[in-house]
A and B are shown apart, each in its own frame.
Chain A
Amino acid sequence: MIYIDYKTNNDELKITLRGHLDAAFVSKVWRESINKLESTKPSLLEIDASGVEYCNGAGAALILQLKQKQETQNRRFSIVGLRKDFEQLINIFDPGIIRETAKKGNFFLEFVKNAGRMCCRVLNDTKAEISFLGELLSKLLAAFIRPSSLKWSDTFLIAEKSGANAVGITCLLGFLIGVILSFQSAIAMQQFGAQIYVADLIVISLFRELGPLITAIIFAARSGSAYAAEIGTMKVNEEIDALVTMGIDPIKYLAVPRMLSGIFMMPLLTMFNLLLGLIGCGLVMLSLGFSPIVYLNRIQEAATLGDLAGGLAKTLVFGLVIAGIGCFRGLQTATGASAVGDSATKSVVSSIIAIIFLDGVFAVVYYYVGI
C-alpha cells in the first residue's frame, strides 16, 4: 500500500509518506511533490516518514531532492519518523548540492565558436589525409623498390580474402547488370529496329564505366570497410601501439599489404565482372534471335583494346584509393566500440565519393588524350 499526503499550514508544508518507497511509487509522485513544493514555497518542509516500510535508492532520491530544493532556497527542512537503516541509506547517498552544468552562452557566440571549431577540424582532417597519403605512397614505392622487405605471406592472405573470395559476388553482379542493362536497352532500340547495336552499347558502357565502377563499389563495401573495421579494432585494443613500440611501422605492416592487394585484385575482379556482364548480354541477344557468332563479331568490332585497357587502368587507381582510405579510417579510429563502426561507415562513404570523383577525372583525361 502506498500513500502520499500534503498538508499546508500557514507557510509550512507537511508531506506524509507511507508504504513502499520504491521506483514504481517514486515515479508516480516525483513530479507532483516537486511541483507542490515549488508552488507553495514553504518556509518549512516537514516529511513524516513514520509509515515508510521500505526505501531504496529511488525513495532516497525523492527525499534528497526535496531536501535539496528547500536548502538551496535557504528554507528549512526536517524529516521525522524515518527508520534508522533508511536514514543511513539517505546519508550515504546524499549527493550534496548539484552544480548546474555551465549555462549555454549566447546563441550567436556558440554558433560562431562551433563554426570555427568545425573549420579547424576539417582543415586538420584534410592535412592529416594529405600527409597520410604521402606517407602511404612513399612506403608503397619503397615496397616496390625492395620487395623483399614486405611480408608476402600476409599480402597473399589479404589478397585471397579480398580478391579470390569476392569472385562470386562480382560475377553475380556483373551477370545481372549485363542481363538487365541489355534487356532495358533492347526495348528502347526495338523502336528504331537497331537491336543489334545493343551489343555495342553494352560492351562500351561496361568496359569504360560500369564494370570498373560496380567492381569498385563492391570492393569498397566488402573489403574497404573490413580493412577499416579490422585495423580500427586493433587500434582500440592498443595493438597498433604494440606494433609501434616493437619498432614495426603499422603503415608498412598493415596498410601496404592491403593496398598492394587492392591494386592487384581490382583489375582481376573487374575482368571477371566484365566477362560475366558480356555473357549476360549475350544471353539476351540470343533470346532476341541473334546468333552467337553475330554477337561476338559485333562486340569485337565495337570495343577496342583501348576501351578495355582504359577501364582496367582506372581500377588500379580505384583499388589503391579504396584500400588506402580503408586503412586510413581504421588507423584514425578513436576509442570505444562505436568508433569502429564509425570508421567502417566513413571508409565506405569516403571511398565511394573518391571513386566517383576519380571516375570524373579519368573521363576528362581520357577525353583529352583521346582514348
Chain B
Amino acid sequence: MSENSNTIIKVENLTAGYGDVAIIKDVNFEVKKGEIFVILGGSGCGKSTLMKHMMGLLPPVSGRVFIDGKDIVTAKGQDRIEILKGIGVMYQNGALFGSMNLLENICLVLEEYTDLPKDAMEFIARMRLKVVSLDGSEHKMPSEISGGMKKRAAIARAMALDPKILFLDEPSAGLDPITSSQLDDLIIELSRNLGITFVIVTHELPSIYKVADRVVMLDKNTKSIIATGKPDYLRDNSDNPWVRQFFNRES
C-alpha cells in the first residue's frame, strides 16, 4: 500500500482491454485527497475505459486499483459495497432513472442504505438539488429537463451518500459555454468546500484549465500515460510535441 496517507486512489500496473485488444497497458498513477484530477486524451484512447476500471465496473486484465486503501478489483460482497458507497458517479448522459422524478432518483440510494425517515430523505435530496441549483425541479421527470439539468441532477444524485470521490464522465460535453462554466464553478466549489476528490474525464480545454489540479494524458498509440502534471505547465513545457499540440488546440 501507499506510504502516503494523502493518496485516495492508487492505480497500480493496470492493464485493461476488451477481448484480445489491449486499450491501456501497465498504467500507474495516484490521485490525492481533495484534488480535481482530470483524465484526458484523444478520442478512443481509453479514458472512459480507465475510469470504468477505477470504479470497479470492469475487471482489469491485470493490475490493481486501490480506493482509500482498499482494492476494488478483488473486493467482493459487503466489502465491495462499502467501497462503492464512498464513490459517486455521474454518467455521460446522466443515467437518471426515467420512471422516477428527480427527488426519487436521489432518494433511491438513501432508501437502500440508511434508515432515515421519509421526510429526512426528501430534505437531504432537496439539499443536494439546491447545491446544483435545481431547487424547484424536485418533481420533474428526467425527460422534462434539459441536458445540462440532467448532468447537474446526476451530480446531485452521485452526492447522495456523501461520497469522498466523485467520478464525472464528460461533464461538459454537449453543454453551452455558460452552463459548462457554471458546472466548472460547481465542481470547484464542491471540491474546495466539501473536500470531495474529483476524477473527471473530459477533453474540453477551457474546462480543463479552469478546474484541473492535475491531469494525466493517455496516448492511443503507446496505450499508456504520456504526460502528468498541471495543464498550464504541460502546455508550455512538455517535451512531447503531441501534448503541446493538444493543449494549444493545434492540428
CB-defined interface of B98-124 with A at 8 Å, one 1/0 digit per residue? Answer: 110000000000100111110110011
Which of B99, B110, B135, B161 is within 8 Å of A95, CB to CB? B135
Which of A28, A31, A57 is within 8 Å of B127, CB to CB? A57
Q: Is B143 an interface residue (CB 8 A)?
A: yes
Contact assessment for A335 and B98 in the assembled complex, using a CB-CB cutoff below 8 Å: yes
B19 to chain A, nearest CB (A): 26
Residues of A within 8 A of B139 (CB): 101
A28 CA / B115 CA spacing, docked (Å)? 8
CB-defined interface of A82-105 with B at 8 Å, one 1/0 digit per residue? Answer: 000100110011111010010000
Which of A28, A58, A89, A98 is within 8 Å of B193, CB to CB? A89
CB-defined interface of B121-133 with A at 8 Å, one 1/0 digit per residue? Answer: 0011011111100
Contact assessment for A27 and B114 in the assembled complex, using a CB-CB cutoff below 8 Å: yes
B117 to chain A, nearest CB (A): 5
A20 to chain B, nearest CB (A): 12
Residues of A within 8 A of B128 (CB): 57, 93
Contact assessment for B123 and A61 in the assembled complex, using a CB-CB cutoff below 8 Å: yes
B18 to chain A, nearest CB (A): 23
A89 CA / B196 CA spacing, docked (Å)? 12
Q: A61-B123, A338-B98, A338-B99 are contacts. A95–B114 as well, Cβ < 8 Å? A: no
Q: In chain A between 69 and 122, which residues have their CB closer than 8 angstroms to a CB of chain B?
A: 85, 88-89, 92-96, 98, 101
Q: Is B168 an interface residue (CB 8 A)?
A: no
CB-defined interface of B157-192 with A at 8 Å, one 1/0 digit per residue? Answer: 001111000000000000000000000000001000
Q: Is A26 an interface residue (CB 8 A)?
A: yes
Q: Is B142 an interface residue (CB 8 A)?
A: yes
Residues of A within 8 A of B162 (CB): 56-58
Q: Is A339 an interface residue (CB 8 A)?
A: yes
A93 CA / B160 CA spacing, docked (Å)? 12
Q: Is B205 an interface residue (CB 8 A)?
A: no
A336 CA / B143 CA spacing, docked (Å)? 7
**A58, A88, A338 — which one has the most chain B CB atoms within 10 A of its CB?**
A58
Q: Is A293 an interface residue (CB 8 A)?
A: no
Q: Is A24 an interface residue (CB 8 A)?
A: yes
Residues of B within 8 A of A95 (CB): 123, 126-127, 129-130, 135
Q: Is A229 an interface residue (CB 8 A)?
A: no
A116 CA / B120 CA spacing, docked (Å)? 36
Interface range, B side = 20 to 34
Q: Is B194 an interface residue (CB 8 A)?
A: yes
A233 to chain B, nearest CB (A): 13
Residues of B within 8 A of A337 (CB): 97-99
Contact assessment for A335 and B143 in the assembled complex, using a CB-CB cutoff below 8 Å: yes
Contact assessment for A92 and B189 in the assembled complex, using a CB-CB cutoff below 8 Å: yes
A272 to chain B, nearest CB (A): 40
**B127, B128, B195 — which one has the most chain A CB atoms within 10 A of its CB?**
B127
Which residue of chain B is the closest to A58 with respect to CB atoms?
Answer: B124
Residues of B within 8 A of A89 (CB): 193-194
Contact assessment for B99 and A57 in the assembled complex, using a CB-CB cutoff below 8 Å: no
Contact assessment for A24 and B114 in the assembled complex, using a CB-CB cutoff below 8 Å: yes
Q: Is A197 an interface residue (CB 8 A)?
A: no
Residues of B within 8 A of A61 (CB): 120, 123-124, 127
Q: In chain B between 179 and 238, which residues have their CB closer than 8 angstroms to a CB of chain A?
A: 189, 193-195
Contact assessment for A93 and B117 in the assembled complex, using a CB-CB cutoff below 8 Å: no
Residues of A within 8 A of B110 (CB): 23
A28 CA / B114 CA spacing, docked (Å)? 10
Contact assessment for B120 and A65 in the assembled complex, using a CB-CB cutoff below 8 Å: yes
A191 CA / B13 CA spacing, docked (Å)? 82
Residues of A within 8 A of B141 (CB): 336
Which of B113, B116, B143, B194 is within 8 Å of A26, CB to CB? B116
B121 to chain A, nearest CB (A): 9
Which residue of chain A is the closest to B124 with respect to CB atoms?
Answer: A61
Q: Is A279 an interface residue (CB 8 A)?
A: no
Which of A24, A57, A88 is within 8 Å of B115, CB to CB? A24
Residues of B within 8 A of A58 (CB): 114, 116, 120, 124, 162
A131 to chain B, nearest CB (A): 25
Residues of A within 8 A of B159 (CB): 57
Which residue of chain A is the closest to B192 with respect to CB atoms?
Answer: A88
Contact assessment for B123 and A336 in the assembled complex, using a CB-CB cutoff below 8 Å: no
Q: Is A64 an interface residue (CB 8 A)?
A: yes
Which residue of chain B is the closest to A341 with respect to CB atoms?
Answer: B99
Q: Is A271 an interface residue (CB 8 A)?
A: no
A95 CA / B124 CA spacing, docked (Å)? 9
B68 to chain A, nearest CB (A): 15
A364 CA / B130 CA spacing, docked (Å)? 64
Q: A57-B128, A58-B124 are contacts. A27–B98 as well, Cβ < 8 Å? A: no
Residue ranges of A at the interface with B (Cβ–Cβ < 8 Å) = 23-24, 26-28, 30-31, 56-58, 60-62, 64-65, 85, 88-89, 92-96, 98, 101, 334-339
Residue ranges of B at the interface with A (Cβ–Cβ < 8 Å) = 97-99, 110, 113-117, 119-120, 123-124, 126-131, 135, 139, 141-143, 159-162, 189, 193-195
Of all A-B residue pairs in the complex, the 8 with the closest CB atoms, nearest first, are A336-B98, A56-B162, A95-B130, A23-B114, A335-B143, A27-B115, A338-B99, A93-B127
Task: Give 14 pairs: A residue, B residue, CB < 8 Å, sorted on A.
Answer: A23-B110, A23-B116, A57-B160, A57-B162, A58-B120, A65-B120, A65-B123, A93-B131, A94-B130, A95-B130, A101-B139, A336-B141, A336-B142, A337-B99
User: Can you name 6 extra interface pairs (CB under 8 A) apart from A27-B116, A337-B99?
Assistant: A23-B161, A26-B120, A31-B117, A57-B124, A61-B123, A65-B119
